[in-house]
Structure 1
């Protein structure tokens, strides 16, 4: 019985150590990625804003569709 308890404790300690090592590796990797991600995100945001502005310029003619056939018909009848 004591042998089983010792083996269980040993296994739990090994698992805990592996989990701690994994966390340490993740924390170290996250620090490196955060520095690079900030620069990349800033560039992506400015590019996205430029694309949005271009799209809005195309759509903001009069707020109407390009099909102005209805307006022409109204002028003919009036």
Structure 2
């Protein structure tokens, strides 16, 4: 697990705890904050997954990555030139 994935998992766990405490005490605001924290943790964890996938692809297929980036650069340059 990468750092972003670990941070996301910890944030999700903290959000679940906060949600549970809010439910236990009847504090709706605490519950909502816990749910928001869980969502933020999930998003951060998925971001870590994407970073991990990209790093793995880059290591396994460096030429394909280079050609893809070159093609994207060419397409953006063409679009910018066409706008003028």
Select the structure that is richer in helix. Answer: 2
Q: TM-score, normalised by structure 1?
A: 0.45
Q: TM-score, normalised by structure 2?
A: 0.42
Higher RCO structure, 1 or 2 (CA under 8 Å, sep 6+) = 2
Name the larger-Rg structure: 1
